[in-house]
Amino acid sequence: MIKKNLTKYGIDIMRNYLNILFFAMALYLSSCSSNDTNYDASGTFEATEVIVSSEANGKIMSLDLIEGTKLIANQLVGIIDSTQLYLKKLQILASSDAVRSRKPDIAKQIAVVEQQISTAEFEKKRVENLLKSNAVPQKQLDDINAQISVLEKQLSALKSTLEVNTRGLNEESSAIEVQVAQLDDQLKKCTIISPIDGTVLVKYAEKGELAVQGKPLFKIAETDNMFLRAYVVSSQLSSIKLGQKVKVFADYGDRMKEYEGKVAWISTKAEFTPKTILTKDERANLVYATKIAVINDGLLKIGMYGKVRFSWK
């Protein structure tokens, strides 16, 4: 009797143990299923990247960059040798001074002829008064009128010549000003600046190396504002729109962190599903790329895996 009761008691214990085990396994599978399907799309984080290249030729005099450091827009980070450009600018400025020195003073050069005309006009009035009283012959008045006419023609010709010379010198001076502006632009391009606020990802050149136009110097990314490039199937497009607020989950390996995101871009063209991307419908061959804008709290990194949920209760 005792042996029979012990056997029954052992069976009950085993049954309870199996029930607990099955319940635990069900909870585990349920949580795994929830974690694997509690999202609408997945992808990787990326940022706006800019490769800054040299705009001038010359030796790199300085390039104060360390990979991983943050820069602000228009921050000076380096200088390319500009000695020859500066000397050329001084030469052109000297020629500009020479052109200005050759420019005639029209007012002073025509002042002599204008004075002669004024004197002749005064003499003409005196002769006209004398002619009224028959004190001088008519020929004397005619001679003065002829003299005034010649002086006026000389004045007109002198003005025309001086104006032509001045116009030519002004055009020459304008051409020099354009050359100076070109050199100023080239000198400005000898400075290396950061085009955006961001973090230096890669440094391609060092101080002392020779820079040529188009040579990459460094790569910078705007890491404060990240994008999750996620892929969706065609059946999900009806529930997505630009500007829509969504939930983004960053995968940190041992945990998932939630962020607030916004749909910033939806591709208008389908593409084959990338091998590294999982979709909610794994049978789908064609997907549409989307970009979800996320404000980085300093933890998000380029290439990190993430998920997005477009709608939730």
For the chain, domain boundaries: 50-81+190-218, 84-188
**pLDDT of res. 130:** 82
Binned at pLDDT 50, 70 and 90, residue 243 comes out as very high
**pLDDT of res. 22:** 45
> What is the rounded CA–CA span in Å between residue 170 and residue 165?
9
Question: Percentage of the chain with pLDDT > 90?
Answer: 48
For residue range 24-35, list pLDDT tens digits in order.
444 444 444 334
Q: Range with the lowest mean pLDDT among 66-75, 91-100, 268-277?
A: 268-277
Residue 37 clears pLDDT 60, i.e. is over it: no
For residue range 216-233, list pLDDT tens digits in order.
999 999 999 999 999 998
Q: Range with the lowest mean pLDDT among 46-60, 137-151, 186-200?
A: 137-151
Task: Specify the pTM.
Answer: 0.67
Amino acid residing at 202: V
The CATH class for the domain spanning 50-81+190-218 reads mainly beta
Q: Write the DSSP string, 84-144.
A: HHHHHHHHHHHHHHHHHHHS--HHHHHHHHHHHHHHHHHHHHHHHHHHHTT-S-HHHHHHH
Instruction: Share the mean pLDDT of the chain.
Output: 84
The mean pLDDT value for 128-134 works out to 81
**290, 261 Cβ separation under 8 angstroms:** no
**pLDDT of res. 218:** 97
Q: In sequence order, what are the beta bridge partners of 288?
A: 232
> What is the rounded CA–CA span in Å between residue 124 and residue 126?
5
For residue range 141-181, list pLDDT tens digits in order.
888 889 888 988 988 888 888 888 888 888 888 899 999 99
**pLDDT of res. 23:** 43
Pick 246 or 130 by higher pLDDT: 246
Tokens found for residue 179: 């050359």
